[in-house]
Amino acid sequence: MAKPLIFVTRKFADSGIKALKAQGYRVNVYAEDNIISRKELLKNVAGCDAILPLLTDAINDDVFVAAGPSLKIVANYAVGFDNVDLAAAKRRGIIVTNTPSDKVNEAVAEHAFALMLSLARRIPEADVFSKAKKYSGWSPTHFIGTDLDGKTLGIVGAGRIGASVARRAVKGFNMKLVYADARRNPTIEKELGAKQLPLEQLLQVSDFVSLHVPLLPTTRHLMSTSEFSLMKKTAFLINTARGPVVDEKALLRALKTKRIAGAGLDVFECEPSIDCDLTDKLELKNFSNVILTPHIASATIAAREDMSIIAANNIIAVLSGKAPLTPAK
């Protein structure tokens, strides 16, 4: 009997691939170091027992048909799973898993806080200024920034990552904390003095707004024109969640009109494009008070290895007839 066949859509941390090979599985890793084309994806999944895709791979019914009846699991190499058609998978009895982990939570929380600090203290602007040899001596007016101490942080989505950001804010920087979530988080209320508010009230009182919600129909364009109109003009937006949670057009208008003080973005609405529409001449990269990073919030060695192992262990469990460790839900 042939050993199970697993297709991995791109080379990443080796730990998971080694774990799969140690089981005797046949592991086919896409050789190119770029996002796999649709044609190549459909060709390579044929006859597979498992697929290990990245968040850049759209996994839908076309993929399931191309894979055939042998496909048992899609082990998504990401915490989010908006790239996978869960309904189509369920209809075909295919299990979908993701890779939540404490290491990923901490990595993303660190990155969100790095963006917050960098915006508040205008570090990228000062770096460009200094490297351009414009610094000719100390001045009391150079790059006046914003304190974090005593300011209010609004967490939108108080799950594992949001709570990790909250702990850093309160315990490390003496910030006040409010949060908006469909569910209460009694832990951060008790531990950090957090107060749950409706989103509209949170936006009105927060000096920093950090987004930590999954991309769902209900969260697409969660931040749009009306939401930006509620924010303080001195407030900053941080997004390390998913790009379409923010209406890019509305954000650009808010930045142009100085409706908000700035933004730190690790994800983009039309990713991998940083701007959805270049015809309007409003580009995110042209604002000095916007910091852009290329979807790297979880990009630490420890987090990537952990994600790799979790994805592999889900495949091993399902192909062994056991329940998945982290089913997507």
How far is the C-alpha of 273 from the C-alpha of 281, rounded, in Å? 15
Q: Distance between CA atoms of 79 and 98, rounded to whole angstroms?
A: 5
Tell whether the torsion through CA atoms of 64, 70, 75 and 77 is positive or negative.
negative
The first and second tokens of residue 53, run together, are: 């895709």
What does the CA dihedral 309, 310, 314, 320 come to, rounded to 10 degrees?
40
Q: Quote the Cα angle for 166-193-183, to 5°.
A: 70
**Contact criterion met (CB below 8 Å) for 291 and 124:** yes
pLDDT computed for residue 75 by the predictor:
97
Mind listing the pLDDT tens digit for each residue in 135-186?
999 999 899 999 999 999 999 999 999 999 999 999 999 999 999 999 999 9
If phi > 0 it is left, if psi is from -120 to 50 it is alpha, else beta; for residue 289 that is: alpha
pLDDT at 68: 95
The third-level CATH classification (topology) of the domain covering 5-98+302-319 is: Rossmann fold (3.40.50)
Burial class, 227, CB count within 10 angstroms (exposed 0-12 / middle 13-18 / buried 19+): buried
The domains spanning 5-98+302-319 and 102-292 adopt the same CATH topology: yes
pTM for the full predicted model: 0.89
Are the CB atoms for 245 and 215 separated by under 8 Å?
yes
pLDDT digits (tens, 9 = 90+) for 231-258: 999 999 999 999 999 999 999 999 999 9
Cα(50)–Cα(109) distance, integer angstroms: 31
Query: What is the pLDDT at residue 1?
Result: 56
The span from the CA of 296 to the CA of 294, in Å, is 6
Low-confidence ranges of the chain (pLDDT < 70): 1-2
Q: Which residues are catalytic?
A: 242, 271, 295
Burial of 324: CB neighbours in 10 Å, binned 0-12, 13-18, 19+: middle
Q: Where are the domains of the chain?
A: 5-98+302-319, 102-292
Of 3.40.50.720, 3.10.580.10, 3.30.70.1560, 1.10.287.110, the CATH number of 102-292 is 3.40.50.720
For 270-286, letters b (16+ CB in 10 Å) and e give: eeeebbbeeeeebebee
